Structure 1
Amino acid sequence: MSTLANGLSSPMGFAETTASKKVSQNFTTPIPSGILTPDTVKTRIGTFNFFDGLPDKASAKLAYENLDFIRAYETFLSLMPAASIEMLRQGHTKIGVDDYNEVMLMSPLGSNPIFLTGNTDTVYGSVFFDLSKTGPLVINIPAGLGPGTINDAFFRFVADTGAPGPDRGKGGKYLILGPSDQAPSESKDYFVFRSPTYSNWLIMRAFLDENGSPDKAVQSYKSDLHIYPYHLKDSQPEMKFIEAGDLVFNTVHANNFQFFVELNEVIQREPINFLDPEIRGLASSIGMEKGVPFNPTPALRSTMEEAVQVGVAYARSEMTRPRDRSAYLYDGKQWTTPFVGGSHEWLRDGGKGGRNLDARAMYFWLATVNTPAMVLEMPGVGSQYGLIATDSQKKFLNGGKNYRLNLPANIPAKDFWSFVVYDPQTRSELQTTQALPSKNSKRDKDILINDDGSVDLYFGPKAPNGKASNWIQTIPEKGWFALLRLYGPLESWFDKSWQPNDIQKLD
């Protein structure tokens, strides 16, 4: 550190200036350390020039441009959940699923839809509804359905249905109220929840039968799922079901300036206080304010574009090479968890440490659905996940190479396990010539099991001789990553007495 007049120090790397000396010499009271600004300050974003602490025009311009960049960067990361669920909604609309009584079925979800880390193992039922149009909405959940979740327009948790919900898998009627809706007098007959936003997403899951078929689950949706406005309870509209598992459509937010256009749709539609003033101020500082046209200058637009690209670089790094060691499931292995911190609100130490912003950004870059059930340790119930993006040598997985993964004996899944391969660009299922980029112990009855009870899975452009039933295809010149899912996870997963091995490169 350099020393200023009166023995004060300037920040590291900042040169002492004549102006600083003159100013300090004019005071009879000693100046607290750190108050003075040198005439020239060199930083990572450029050089600032001052006369006695007064910035010249170029310095002021640089400071404001940097502030715009910071605000755009933080808006991208902080409001990513809102843009993500908005694009889910728009994806539904583009294939004709745009009202409360229209259900997107995926039985299963194939690799054609661009859909953040969806799985090939469950039968999805997906619905968007707008409470500003329907008023209080009734959702009659069938008995025996798997876990379901309702999330609001900021991807916040509203309610669980099915096994983790209040119906405990027995089915029941849910009544969803909008931000200002009054509960009907007969609401005691329903499981009642209030959403802080108008637009909401209901995602339901049902399971393949013992033969790996989705037919029973699909029939349950079509026979027993009913959704209707409360005021139409005596004249319920007909339900409509659209099979979308193999359709081509996008549900993932943009990674350029278009992201802010998508986000602005949410800000304009939703009630003003669905975001707290701090977050609203972040968005409005770069032109996104409810009731105000979004029309940034060319210069601001360019800055916002750059901020997204830097944000994307961070998010991709956090997903595949997290710096938080608590993201790693095991010491010395490459497996990580998508749900860092054990809180569906991403709170550190029960809230004492505030919000874990890195964990939240990583999750919503990678995935969808926000529910407390995703972080609870419930042996034999629900599902658990392990993410892998690098091999045993800490190198990214390359679709042109061949690999083997050994899953030790006694895989801790009461119901079944699956392994799904994803495209790192889209974070959606990898598109190959295989029907599905996955292996599933319930569906794939021909999986070979080793003499010791372990299972070897193989990955590469071509199946190894005699191992086609255990092979998942990858694409040369493309990377990949994967998720191991355990349905009905057992205690040995939680206490880590069972651990998957790292992926080994074979050539």
Structure 2
Amino acid sequence: MRTEGTTESGLTNEQLAEEVAHLSTPDRLSTPFGEFEFFDGVPKPESVQTIFDGLDLVRGITAFLNLVPGASLVAMRAGLRTAGVDSPDKIAYTDPKANSGALWLTPNTETTYGVAFLDLKAWGPTVIEAPPQALGVVDDFWFRYVADMGIAGPDKGVGGKYLFLPPGYDGERPDGYYTFESATFTNFVVIRALGGVPAIKQSRIYRLSDADAPPENTFVNIADQVFNTIHSNDFSFFEEIAELVAEEPPAALDPERAGTLRALGIVHGKPFAPDERLRGILDDAARIGAAMARATLYRSRNAESFRWEGSSWKEGFVGGNYEFLHDGARNLDARTLFHYAATVITPAMAHAQVGAGSAYIYTAEDADGALLDGAATYSLRIPPNPPAKNFWAIDIYDTQTRSLLQSAPYPALSSLGEGLQAEADGSYVLWFAPIAPEGKESNWIPTLPGKSWWPLLRLYGPLEPWFDMTWQLPEFIRERG
């Protein structure tokens, strides 16, 4: 029975009014996109376009942050094509190793790379013969893991034949191969081998239909070529993504990300032709998204990013999962962070084992929390007994391009380097400056005035003190005076 001043639900009129207030939009709303005006919750005509512009900007930023992996591989393929690696039978390699001439996301200067792209649409089922003692990975065109080859793969390092099938394939699956089906036609192949260039040149890539008499591959030394493999940070980013979407089956991308792209006019089977309004918004979205990616990379707010409490050194794989999953949820910032800085996805990178694989940490600041300045002089002490079974190395990178800093062909130092001087206690003091401090040339990496830089420490074959955190790397010390 209703009493005076109550509704049928039992709420008082005042309580109902308060509930409605929670559900309502005010007649004037001040936002980062501008002023929105409404009449009793309905957008006024003069505000509708401003609201939709804001929606397109939000979706553009979301697309940038979530689709960096795909754009990265489109740019990688484009760069390799300019270097002459323009078909699956051509395998790029770096002899003797990568240098700072070309633009690559955080390559190391210690190992030799072999790189290729499969085209399962043009070639159909394709075979890769992995050499012995290889560290090979195949990722699809959205930069998702497909297979390991070699030591971390099913051949366990003895070498083997791998068969890669295109999406939707329903043909023959012959015996004698480690067989994988990819969700995309284009696939990225990385081959590293402990035997260096001669071992990489034992690799073979050919059509399954040519298996009885495989043709020779062409090996292209790209070490001294100058080219760009890094995705754009402006409107061109969306053109890179549109290229990928046009080539691959719609089902290759999850519905949520595909839906974001559809709202921006990037749809499989249709040309991407934004008008001037949307083009300008997407240019802004890419630049804002890049700013957010840079903050996530260099100034992470995630406590899981940091290797040690109170330290600025950060993990590249936050959470230790190659799919960036934690309790059933995707760590979106971790995915953006990794792909904005690096290439190649494999479980073997996310889960290093004692004495096997590699571990990585980086920073972008000194002991005072200040950004690293290419005009200043810094020292870094590597404590005694670095926990690396094989060797340790530190490379430094350009904060803009995330490529090797172009202060030297090989802006790096490692425990394998000739002449590296140790201290009496077994530690190493490394120096970073435009000019080497007197008497420190053997332990010096040059920097560039006017530019920032950031280092990445790699431990090859990390040992127990790395995992139990009893070995800790100190901060960079800026020298005064």
Task: Name the TM-score class by shorter chain.
Answer: over 0.9
Task: Give the direction of change, closer, same or farther, for the CA distance of 1:312–1:113 in structure 2 (3 Å limit).
Answer: same
Please state how far the C-alpha of 1:240 moved relative to its aligned partner. 0.7
SS of equivalent to 1:252: coil
Which amino acid in structure 1 is aligned with residue 411 of structure 2?
P
Q: What is the rounded CA distance, in whole Å, between the counterparts of 1:217 and 1:62 in structure 2? A: 57
Counterpart residue number, 1:297? 275
1:51-130 matches, cutoff 5 A: 51-107=39-95, 108-130=97-119
Counterpart residue number, 1:505? 478
The one-character-per-residue Cα deviations of 1:31-90 (angstroms, maximum 9, x if unpaired) are: 544123322222332222222222211221111111110111111111111110111111
Task: Give the direction of change, closer, same or farther, for the CA distance of 1:31–1:333 in structure 2 (3 Å limit).
Answer: closer
SS of equivalent to 2:23: coil
Decide which of 200, 205, 220 is 1:221's aligned counterpart.
Answer: 200
Please state how far the C-alpha of 1:326 moved relative to its aligned partner. 0.8
The one-character-per-residue Cα deviations of 1:280-306 (angstroms, maximum 9, x if unpaired) are: 111011111111111111011111111
Counterpart residue number, 1:10? none
Counterpart residue number, 1:494? 467
TM-score between both structures, scaled by the size of structure 2: 0.95
Task: Give the direction of change, closer, same or farther, for the CA distance of 1:429–1:39 in structure 2 (3 Å limit).
Answer: same
Task: Give the direction of change, closer, same or farther, for the CA distance of 1:32–1:428 in structure 2 (3 Å limit).
Answer: same
Please state how far the C-alpha of 1:262 moved relative to its aligned partner. 0.9
- Work out whether residues 329 and 337 of structure 1, in 8 Å CA contact, stay in contact via their aligned partners in 2: yes
- Work out whether residues 410 and 454 of structure 1, in 8 Å CA contact, stay in contact via their aligned partners in 2: yes
Which amino acid in structure 1 is aligned with residue 179 of structure 2?
V
Counterpart residue number, 1:387? 362
Task: Give the direction of change, closer, same or farther, for the CA distance of 1:454–1:183 in structure 2 (3 Å limit).
Answer: farther
SS of equivalent to 1:204: strand
Any stretches of 5+ residues in structure 2 without a counterpart? 7-11
Q: What is the rounded CA distance, in whole Å, between the counterparts of 1:360 and 1:142 in structure 2? A: 31
Decide which of 241, 244, 264 is 2:219's aligned counterpart.
Answer: 241
Q: RMSD of the alignment, in Å?
A: 1.9
Q: What is the rounded CA distance, in whole Å, between the counterparts of 2:132 and 2:16 in structure 1? A: 81
Q: What is the rounded CA distance, in whole Å, between the counterparts of 1:39 and 1:33 in structure 2? A: 12
Counterpart residue number, 1:372? 347
Decide which of 412, 417, 420 is 1:438's aligned counterpart.
Answer: 412
- Work out whether residues 177 and 183 of structure 1, in 8 Å CA contact, stay in contact via their aligned partners in 2: no
Are 1:42 and 2:16 counterparts? no
The more displaced of 175-184 and 122-131 is 175-184
Q: What is the rounded CA distance, in whole Å, between the counterparts of 1:30 and 1:500 in structure 2? A: 56
SS of equivalent to 2:242: helix
Please state how far the C-alpha of 1:424 moved relative to its aligned partner. 0.4
SS of equivalent to 1:197: coil
Decide which of 149, 160, 178 is 2:137's aligned counterpart.
Answer: 149
Are 1:184 and 2:172 counterparts? yes
Counterpart residue number, 2:449? 476
Q: What is the rounded CA distance, in whole Å, between the counterparts of 1:46 and 1:412 in structure 2? A: 54
Q: What is the rounded CA distance, in whole Å, between the counterparts of 2:241 and 2:349 in structure 1? A: 26
Q: What is the rounded CA distance, in whole Å, between the counterparts of 2:25 and 2:214 in structure 1? A: 70
Decide which of 151, 172, 181 is 1:194's aligned counterpart.
Answer: 181
Please state how far the C-alpha of 1:180 moved relative to its aligned partner. 1.7
Q: What is the rounded CA distance, in whole Å, between the counterparts of 2:92 and 2:78 in structure 1? A: 13
Q: What is the rounded CA distance, in whole Å, between the counterparts of 2:350 and 2:343 in structure 1? A: 14
Q: What is the rounded CA distance, in whole Å, between the counterparts of 2:458 and 2:351 in structure 1? A: 15
The one-character-per-residue Cα deviations of 1:211-267 (angstroms, maximum 9, x if unpaired) are: xxxxx5111222x21111111111212111111112100000011101111111000
Which amino acid in structure 2 is aligned with residue 437 of structure 1?
P
Which amino acid in structure 1 is aligned with residue 128 of structure 2?
I
- Work out whether residues 340 and 359 of structure 1, in 8 Å CA contact, stay in contact via their aligned partners in 2: yes
The more displaced of 481-490 and 271-280 is 271-280
Which runs of at least 4 in structure 1 moved beyond 3 Å after TM superposition? 24-33
Any stretches of 5+ residues in structure 1 without a counterpart? 1-5, 8-23, 208-215
Please state how far the C-alpha of 1:467 moved relative to its aligned partner. 1.2
Please state how far the C-alpha of 1:384 moved relative to its aligned partner. 0.4
Counterpart residue number, 1:19? none
Counterpart residue number, 2:152? 164
Counterpart residue number, 2:383? 408
Counterpart residue number, 2:238? 260
The one-character-per-residue Cα deviations of 1:340-380 (angstroms, maximum 9, x if unpaired) are: 0111000113x1xx100011011111111011111113011
- Work out whether residues 448 and 455 of structure 1, in 8 Å CA contact, stay in contact via their aligned partners in 2: yes
Decide which of 298, 301, 318 is 1:340's aligned counterpart.
Answer: 318
Question: Among the aligned pairs, what percent are the same residue?
Answer: 41
The one-character-per-residue Cα deviations of 1:93-137 (angstroms, maximum 9, x if unpaired) are: 111102121111013000011000011011000010110111111
Please state how far the C-alpha of 1:464 moved relative to its aligned partner. 1.2
Which amino acid in structure 2 is aligned with residue 370 of structure 1?
I
Q: What is the rounded CA distance, in whole Å, between the counterparts of 2:352 and 2:445 in structure 1? A: 30
Q: What is the rounded CA distance, in whole Å, between the counterparts of 2:409 and 2:325 in structure 1? A: 40
Q: What is the rounded CA distance, in whole Å, between the counterparts of 2:16 and 2:390 in structure 1? A: 78
Task: Give the direction of change, closer, same or farther, for the CA distance of 1:54–1:460 in structure 2 (3 Å limit).
Answer: same
Q: What is the rounded CA distance, in whole Å, between the counterparts of 2:219 and 2:16 in structure 1? A: 81
Q: What is the rounded CA distance, in whole Å, between the counterparts of 2:369 and 2:83 in structure 1? A: 40
- Work out whether residues 131 and 193 of structure 2, in 8 Å CA contact, stay in contact via their aligned partners in 1: no
Q: What is the rounded CA distance, in whole Å, between the counterparts of 1:69 and 1:405 in structure 2? A: 42
Which amino acid in structure 1 is aligned with residue 267 of structure 2?
E
- Work out whether residues 136 and 183 of structure 1, in 8 Å CA contact, stay in contact via their aligned partners in 2: no
Q: What is the rounded CA distance, in whole Å, between the counterparts of 2:173 and 2:249 in structure 1? A: 25
Counterpart residue number, 1:21? none
Please state how far the C-alpha of 1:29 moved relative to its aligned partner. 8.9
TM-score between both structures, scaled by the size of structure 1: 0.90
